Amino acid sequence: MPRCSMQEAMNKASVYIDRRIEDGSKIAITLPHASHILIMAVSAYLIARQIKKQTKDETIDLEKAFVCGLLHDIGRYIVDERESKYPHTIAGYDRCKKLKIPGVAPVCLTHAILDKATHEEYPDYTPEQLKFVNDKMSKINRSFYDDLTMLVDLHCRGDQVFHIHDRLEKNIKMYNIQMDNYYDKYMALYNKFTSKYNVDIYRICRFVADHRKSIFKHLMPYCHGWLRYVCGDKSVAKDHVAYSRNANIAQYWKDYLAQQTKVITK
């Protein structure tokens, strides 16, 4: 099965963040999302490294943990779920297949879906979408990387980090989830994982988010475009205005840069 290296993943992430910007996505959504996938990748890597050290399990692949965290949301550059009603999970799964990185495709589903998808938990999915997801999920054997990516994602939203209890409560309200055992189901996964590996997921995610300015600088040489901007290279914004393929987008960014009063990556 083709393997996606960290460098390849950074290239693909850079492209999909740039694509969102070129398509006119709002900065208030896209740049925090770019921060999110970097926080996800680094947090997953650090958690996997700690577990590998504690368990002395040499089969744990730190690079895979990083790549899954980085590309789990790759479907978001293709669709805006609020407008299209097409799940980013399915879009990401299909995208990874087309990019010939099928090894990453499952996490596009499993970071958001634990087992069987139901209308009570995913009210915005159509019957056809639920059928597609459940068909694919039935063929996936959940792995360490699926659970790790899901749990890190449950702690992170945008460039913010939450205790899992708070995030689950937010999800219930935000997505109108009607599943009675939703909270208990995900807490069971969290308790099983953290007990087995004796790891504090929140603490590590919080550390990465709080120190992202210095951490992201180390990632800057491996990315380009707006992902590089999030890592600290503010010249990208000026270059984008000069070379944008879309005059309206170029004007949008000129207006944004004229009004900018704070650094996005704190």
Q: Is residue 1 part of a domain?
A: no
* Both structure tokens of 89: 């999970």
- DSSP codes, 63-108: HHHHHHHHHTTGGGGT--HHHH---HHHHHHHHHHHTT-TTTHHHH
- Measured at the alpha carbon of residue 233, what is the angle toward residues 251 and 108, in degrees to the nearest 5? 85
> Is residue 96 a part of any domain in this protein?
yes
222: its two tokens:
């491996």
Single-letter amino acid, residue 76? R
State how many domains the chain has.
1
Other beta carbons within 10 Å of 164: 19
- Count Cβ atoms within 10 A of the Cβ of residue 65 and give its class: 0-12 exposed, 13-18 middle, 19 or more buried: buried
Task: Give the model confidence (pLDDT) of 166-222 as tens digits.
Answer: 999 999 999 999 999 999 999 999 999 999 999 999 999 999 999 999 999 999 999
Q: Residue length, the chain?
A: 266
Query: Is 180 among the domain residues?
Result: yes
Taking the model in full, what pTM does it have? Answer: 0.88
Q: Which residues pair with 160 in a beta bridge?
A: 157
Range(s) of the domain holding residue 172: 6-259
- Whether the Cβ atoms of residue 70 and residue 9 lie closer than 8 Å to each other: yes
Q: What is the pLDDT along the chain (266 residues), one digit of tens a residue?
A: 457 899 999 999 998 898 888 777 777 788 899 999 999 999 999 999 999 999 999 999 999 999 999 999 998 876 555 666 789 999 999 999 988 888 899 999 999 999 999 999 999 999 999 999 999 999 999 999 999 999 999 999 988 999 999 999 999 999 999 999 999 999 999 999 999 999 999 999 999 999 999 999 999 999 988 899 999 988 876 665 544 444 454 555 455 455 543 433 33
